C-alpha cells in the first residue's frame, strides 16, 4: 500500500512561490504607481493652493489699487477684509507702507522662519501656525502711498488632504498586494492541478508494475512534453530492468554449469582414494572449467565498462584488411578443422584501437567458423558506407529466422540447440562485438538470406573524431 506523500524538509510549494512572486511584482507596480500618484496629487494640491493664494491676492490688490485712495475708504477696506478673513484665522492679510494710516493687519513676529518656495511664494513658520504667503506691491493712488500687500493662507487643510490621500493610497496598495497574492496562489493552484494529478499517478509507480505510465492526455502543452519525456525514461528504465533481470538469470545459468561440473568432479574424486594420474586428469578438467569461468567474468567486466560509456582510445589509422588477416592467423587451425577457407574482399582505412578491433573481428570469424557448413568459404567484405567502414562476415549455414536476427547481439543469447557447439561458447562473443562497434562510433548488423548468413559491424570514418 502506498504511503501518503509528505513533502521533504526544505521543499517548497510552487503555488506559494508563485504567489510570493505575484505579490512582489504587485508591490513593485503599486510602489511605482503610488510614487507617481503621490507626485501628481502633491503637484495638484500645491497648484490649487497657489491658485487660491493668487486669487485672494489679486482681489485685494485690485480693491486697493482702484478704490482705496484716502483714509475714509481705507476704513471700508479694513471692514471688508475682516469679512473675508475666516474666524479660525487660516487666512491673513497684511498691508505695510511708509504712511502708518494705510497699514493693515498684524506683522509676522521677527523670530518667524521664512522659507522661499519659489515664484514669489514663501512659507512663514511661526510658533502658532504656518502660512504660505504671496507678497506684491500696490501702486499709489490719491493720498495713499505705495504699499506692500501680503496674503497668507494656512496650508494645514492642504497638508491634511495630502496626508489622507497618501494613507488611503498606502492602505489600498497593501490590500491590493494581498489580493494579487491570493489570486496568484489560486491561479497557480488551478494551473498546477495537472501536476498534482501526475503526482498521484507517479506515487502508484513501482517495480511490481513496470509497464505503468503517466497519463499524457488532457494536459497543458507545458506538461505534455515533460510527461512524454518522463514516460520515455520509464520505458528505458523498464527495458534496462528487464535486460538486467535477464542478464542476471543468464549469468547465474552460465556460471552454474561450470561450477556444477567443478563440484561434481571434485566430489567424485573425493569419494574414494584415487591415483595420481586420475587426480591430475581431474585437475586438468577443473582447470578448463576455471578458465571458462574466468573468460565469462572478464567478458562481463568488459561489457560493464562499455555500458558506462567507455570509448575506444589510442586510435590509429589502419588498414582493415590487414587487421582482419592478422586475426585470421590465430584461427588457422579452426578453419582447417572446419574445412573452410577465408576470403577477404576490399579494403579501407579507419581509426581503430587495434587490440579491441582485433577482438571484435576474432569473435566474428570464430562465430562464422562455429556455424558454417563444412568445406565452405567464409567471405569478409570491407567497404565504405554512409555510416562508416563496414566489415561483413558471410558464411553458409543454417538459416536464421527474422525474429532471432534482432537478438543475435544480446548477451547469452543462442538461437537454438541446432546451432552446434553452442555449449562451448558462453554467448557473449557477439555482445562484445556490438560493444566494440559502439566504442568506435559504429553499429552492428545481421541478415540471413537463404543459407547465407552475414554478420558484421561498422566503425566511424577516419575523418570523424
In this structure, the answer to whether residues 226 and 301 fall within a common structural domain is yes
Q: What CATH number does residue 441 fall under? A: 3.30.565.10
Cβ contact 390:360 at 8 Å: no
In this structure, the answer to whether residues 153 and 22 fall within a common structural domain is yes
- The per-residue pLDDT for range 248-280, each reduced to its tens digit, is 777 777 777 778 888 888 888 888 888 888 888
Q: Is residue 168 part of a domain?
A: no
In this structure, the answer to whether residues 295 and 338 fall within a common structural domain is no
- The per-residue pLDDT for range 161-185, each reduced to its tens digit, is 888 888 888 898 888 888 888 888 8
In this structure, the answer to whether residues 303 and 324 fall within a common structural domain is no
Q: What CATH number does residue 72 fall under? A: 3.30.450
* Per-chain mean pLDDT for the chain: 82
Q: What CATH number does residue 267 fall under? A: 1.10.287.130
Q: Is residue 169 part of a domain?
A: no
Q: What global pTM score does this model have?
A: 0.52
| Tally of CA atoms within 13 A in the half-sphere of 119 that contains its CB | 7
Per-residue b/e over 253-283, b at no fewer than 16 CB within 10 Å? Answer: ebbeebeeebeebeeebeeeeeeeeeeeebe
In this structure, the answer to whether residues 330 and 423 fall within a common structural domain is yes
Q: Which of 163, 179, 196 is the last residue of a domain?
A: 163
Q: Residue 446 sits in which domain range?
A: 316-459
Check whether 379 has a pLDDT greater than 90.
yes
Q: Is residue 52 part of a domain?
A: yes
pLDDT band of 70, cuts 50, 70, 90: confident
Q: Is residue 183 part of a domain?
A: no
Q: Is residue 11 part of a domain?
A: no
In this structure, the answer to whether residues 149 and 22 fall within a common structural domain is yes
Nearest-Å Rg of the Cα atoms of the chain is 51
Q: Is 421 or 400 the better-scoring residue by pLDDT?
A: 400
Could you give the angle at the alpha carbon of 439 between the alpha carbons of 433 and 442, nearest 5°?
75
- The per-residue pLDDT for range 207-252, each reduced to its tens digit, is 777 777 777 777 777 677 777 888 888 888 877 777 777 767 777 7
pLDDT band of 309, cuts 50, 70, 90: confident
Helix-strand-coil percent breakdown of the chain, rounded to 5? 55, 15, 30
Return the SS3 of 53.
helix
Domain count, the chain: 3
Q: How far apart are CA 165 and CA 306, in angstroms?
A: 74
Amino acid at each position: 500500500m502506498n504511503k501518503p506523500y509528505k513533502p521533504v524538509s526544505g521543499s517548497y510549494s510552487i503555488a506559494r512561490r508563485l504567489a510570493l512572486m505575484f505579490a512582489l511584482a504587485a508591490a513593485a507596480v503599486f510602489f511605482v504607481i503610488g510614487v507617481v500618484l503621490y507626485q501628481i496629487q502633491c503637484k495638484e494640491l500645491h497648484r490649487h493652493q497657489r491658485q487660491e493664494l493668487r486669487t485672494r491676492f489679486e482681489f485685494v490688490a485690485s480693491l486697493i489699487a482702484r478704490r482705496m485712495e484716502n483714509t475714509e475708504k481705507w476704513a471700508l477696506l479694513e471692514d471688508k477684509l475682516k469679512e473675508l478673513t475666516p474666524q479660525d484665522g487660516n487666512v491673513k492679510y497684511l498691508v505695510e507702507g511708509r504712511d502708518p494710516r494705510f497699514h493693515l493687519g498684524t506683522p509676522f513676529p521677527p523670530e518667524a522662519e521664512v522659507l522661499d518656495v519659489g515664484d514669489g511664494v514663501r512659507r512663514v513658520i511661526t510658533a502658532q501656525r504656518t502660512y504660505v504667503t504671496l507678497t506684491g506691491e500696490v501702486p499709489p493712488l490719491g493720498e495713499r502711498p505705495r504699499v506692500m500687500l501680503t496674503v497668507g493662507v494656512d496650508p494645514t487643510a492642504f497638508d491634511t488632504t495630502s496626508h489622507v490621500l497618501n494613507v488611503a493610497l498606502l492602505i489600498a496598495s497593501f490590500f491590493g498586494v494581498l489580493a494579487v497574492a491570493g489570486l496568484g496562489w489560486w491561479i497557480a493552484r488551478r494551473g498546477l492541478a495537472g501536476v498534482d494529478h501526475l503526482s498521484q499517478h507517479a506515487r502508484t509507480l513501482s517495480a511490481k508494475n513496470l509497464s505503468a505510465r503517466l497519463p499524457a492526455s488532457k494536459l497543458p502543452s507545458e506538461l505534455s512534453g515533460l510527461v512524454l519525456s518522463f514516460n520515455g525514461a520509464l520505458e528505458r528504465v523498464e527495458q534496462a530492468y528487464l535486460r538486467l533481470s535477464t542478464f542476471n538469470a543468464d549469468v547465474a545459468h552460465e556460471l552454474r554449469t561450470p561450477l556444477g561440473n567443478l563440484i561434481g568432479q571434485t566430489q567424485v574424486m573425493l569419494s574414494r582414494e584415487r591415483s595420481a594420474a586420475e587426480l591430475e586428469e581431474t585437475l586438468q578438467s577443473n582447470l578448463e572449467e576455471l578458465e571458462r569461468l574466468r573468460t565469462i567474468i572478464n567478458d562481463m567486466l568488459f561489457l560493464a565498462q562499455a555500458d558506462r560509456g567507455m570509448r575506444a582510445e589510442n586510435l590509429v589509422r589502419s588498414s582493415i584488411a590487414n587487421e582482419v588477416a592478422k586475426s585470421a592467423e590465430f584461427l588457422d587451425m579452426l578453419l582447417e578443422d572446419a574445412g573452410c577457407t577465408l576470403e577477404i574482399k576490399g579494403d579501407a582505412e579507419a581509426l581503430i584501437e587495434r587490440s579491441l578491433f582485433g577482438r571484435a573481428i576474432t569473435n566474428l570469424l570464430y562465430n562464422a567458423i562455429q556455424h558454417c557448413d563444412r568445406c565452405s568459404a567464409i567471405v569478409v567484405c570491407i567497404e565504405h558506407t554512409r555510416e562508416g567502414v563496414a566489415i561483413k562476415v558471410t558464411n553458409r549455414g543454417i538459416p536464421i529466422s527474422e525474429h532471432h536476427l534482432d537478438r543475435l547481439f544480446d548477451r547469452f543469447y543462442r538461437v537454438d540447440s541446432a546451432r552446434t557447439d553452442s555449449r562451448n561458447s558462453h554467448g557473449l562473443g557477439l555482445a562484445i562485438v556490438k560493444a566494440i562497434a559502439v566504442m568506435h562510433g559504429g553499429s552492428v548488423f545481421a541478415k540471413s538470406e537463404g543459407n547465407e548468413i552475414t554478420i558484421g559491424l561498422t566503425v566511424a570514418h577516419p575523418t570523424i573524431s
